[in-house]
Amino acid sequence: MDDMNSRQLARTWPFKRYKAFERELRNAASGWFSQKGLATHSRMGYCLKSLDLWPQNIICPDVAEYIKNEHERNLGKDSFPLHKYLHHGLSSQAMVFNLVGTLIVKKDLEPLRIIMEEAGIPWPTGEITAGFEYDDRAVFNEDSGQPTSVDLAISGEETGRIFIEAKLVEREFGGCSVFSGGDCDGKNPASYGFEGCYLQHIGRKYWERMNEFGFGEPPLGSGPLCPFVSYYQFFREVLFALKKDGYFVLLHDERNPAFLKVSTDGKESGLWPFLIESVPSEYANRIGRVTIQKLVSAIDGSGRHHDWISEFKQKYGIE
């Protein structure tokens, strides 16, 4: 390949590119909004005209009503923030409301149980409760500001908790805002000293939890660069789940190459296999992933949700 230019070499890249995936979902969202005759952004047909129109981004009206009620019920509290791009056709929060929120409203979590157990994640026992945007300020001593919040929590009255983070078109797990805000040089405080970590200075217990569960020992946790710079959200949510004696699960779109991609010769790459290497072996069985497509298939196969699951597939371009 020495005689090939960069454009020719680009065509030999063995993985699907992210832009092709994003374009696919944008086209599906634009088509769905257009078919419904909904008012969209002048330059982005895949986004509704304004945030207050977000209920139109939800397939089932009773689910939109449930979300409204839950949000209003928690006003003045920490839980249930509505994302500022909830009206966007590619919003992961809207997606999980459409997919799992509908199962909650219809009181049928069986499809979710099936795919969790297939992924090796034990289903909670006893009476099951499910709720969005779960938080607990005590875990990391987050006494001010927006606390760590997990998209969805499934809890059993007797045993078990599953904490689910939903990703649709995201390119990453969110990084540390202190670094992006210019107040951190990115050095790993575990290597260079905690006096340089603003979060440690104000009493947050992120590094205390990292050490408690042995995350400071693998290469990513003990290297020269702070793992929170690029992977802050991943570590916070995994540690949150472990501290709450639960399981952490990533719910992602199998088409999104940012989290998992497979080359033409079967080689896996992406954020997920990379970050899993940083998890101490004794906790590896408490962290897993499932795909949106797997859940859609389980819902479809149940025969109980034909009134909405076909529209979900159309909205998100799932065949």
AA letter at 266: G
**29-33, 41-45, 75-79, 138-142: least confidently modelled range:** 75-79
Residue 1 falls inside a structural domain: no
Residue 119 falls inside a structural domain: yes
pTM listed for this prediction: 0.94
Range of the domain at 120: 13-315
Q: What is the pLDDT of residues 55-99, one digit of tens each?
A: 999 999 999 999 999 988 877 766 678 999 999 999 999 999 999
Give the pLDDT band (50/70/90) at residue 2.
confident
The two three-digit tokens of residue 175, written as one number: 């990084």
Residue 61: how many other CB atoms lie within 10 Å: 10
Q: What's the structural domain count of the chain?
A: 1
Q: What is the pLDDT of residues 102-141, one digit of tens each?
A: 999 999 999 999 999 999 999 999 999 999 999 999 999 9
The two three-digit tokens of residue 313, written as one number: 């597939």
Residue 280 falls inside a structural domain: yes
Give the pLDDT band (50/70/90) at residue 292.
very high
Residue 7 falls inside a structural domain: no
- Per-residue pLDDT at 257 exceeds 70: yes
Residue 184 falls inside a structural domain: yes
Main-chain phi, psi angles of 148, to 5 degrees = -60, 125
Residue 4 falls inside a structural domain: no
Residue 112 falls inside a structural domain: yes
Residue 65 falls inside a structural domain: yes
